[in-house]
Amino acid sequence: MGLWNVEQHDGIVVAAYRNPPMNYFVGEGAAELGALIPGWRDPAVRVVILTGGVPDRYLTHYSVEELAGLAGDGMHALGTDVNDGYHALVQDLSDLEKPVIAAMSGDTMGGGLELSLGCDIRIAQRGDFSIGFPEVSLGIIAGGGGTQRLARTIGTGPALDFLLRSRIVSPEQALALGIVSEVADDARARALEIAANLARQSPVALAQTKRSVLRGAQLPLAEGLRVEAEAFLTTMLTDEALTAMNDYVDTPHDERRAWVRSRATAVPGDPA
């Protein structure tokens, strides 16, 4: 077995990274993940969850030992190959046409946070855990997509403040900043709960929602609206949409509110 332990049940893949004691992300783990992702394009896979395989450890951060070994002459020889490879890995994960959930089961910094920002939903585990980008304090920058994905997630100003000051925050602070979607006592258990609901949804609707948001966000509004219109048309031509809408129409008016809520995966604080 490699550094990733992968399980699949009922269309849900759980990939747990295990590199004790600190669970640092390393080149071998990145290569293994890159080799796993193509298999997750299988339509039988409905949702993917990334989590930590060491108690109270997620992907703590990328191995500083590895980075220090590359610094100086090593980087002169490699140029931007290291960055390009990591960018491609995170983009491949983001490009999966299904929801990808980061169950952040412990410290999530540097390369671990960059990988999580390539996921669609981020669940931070409640506890004395650190989330952030300490790179500037090490004399480098978040070069695995952190500067770009964080700015697109929380906005340019907040991202600059966060990165320049090498901020390290708690799970609750990360939630307030919009870095994570929610905080849970058990990130993996909560991710599985969300995944089970998502696995029951139309895979076409999920894929087209993801495409519309992620592709459209990079385009001028008029072009983004065209992407949305094409995605909407794609969903309207599916049997799943017709079945679900007819089921809703056949539901008595006084039960329709409950019908909608029963099919949503509520975040704590949402109406029950």
The tens digit of pLDDT for each residue in 35-79 reads 999 999 999 999 999 999 999 999 999 999 988 887 776 666 666
Helix axes 146-154, 156-164, angle to 10 degrees: 130
Cα angle vertex 115, ends 114, 118, to 5°? 95
Residue 266 pLDDT grade (very low, low, confident, very high; cuts 50, 70, 90): confident
Task: Check residue 16 and give its pLDDT.
Answer: 98
CB-based burial label for 38 (10 Å; 0-12, 13-18, 19+): exposed
**Is the overall model pTM greater than 0.85, yes or no?**
yes
Task: Check residue 164 and give its pLDDT.
Answer: 98
The tens digit of pLDDT for each residue in 81-120 reads 888 999 999 999 999 999 999 999 999 999 999 999 999 9
The runs of H, that is alpha helices, within the chain are: 27-36, 64-70, 73-78, 81-94, 111-117, 146-154, 156-164, 171-177, 187-199, 203-216, 221-236, 239-249, 256-262
The runs of H, that is alpha helices, within 130-180 are: 146-154, 156-164, 171-177
Average pLDDT over residues 223-236: 96
Handedness of CA 206, 147, 38, 50 (dihedral sign): negative
Give 74-126 as a DSSP string: HHHHHTTHHHHHHHHHHHHHHT-SS-EEEEE-SBEETHHHHHHHTSSEEEEES
For the ranges 124-128, 140-144, 176-180, the lowest mean pLDDT is seen at 140-144
Query: CA-CA distance, 235 to 244, in Å (whole number)?
Result: 12
Query: CA-CA distance, 149 to 126, in Å (whole number)?
Result: 23
Task: Check residue 129 and give its pLDDT.
Answer: 98
Contacts of 250 (CB under 8 A, 6+ apart): none
Task: Check residue 168 and give its pLDDT.
Answer: 97
Longest distance between any two alpha carbons in the chain, whole Å = 71
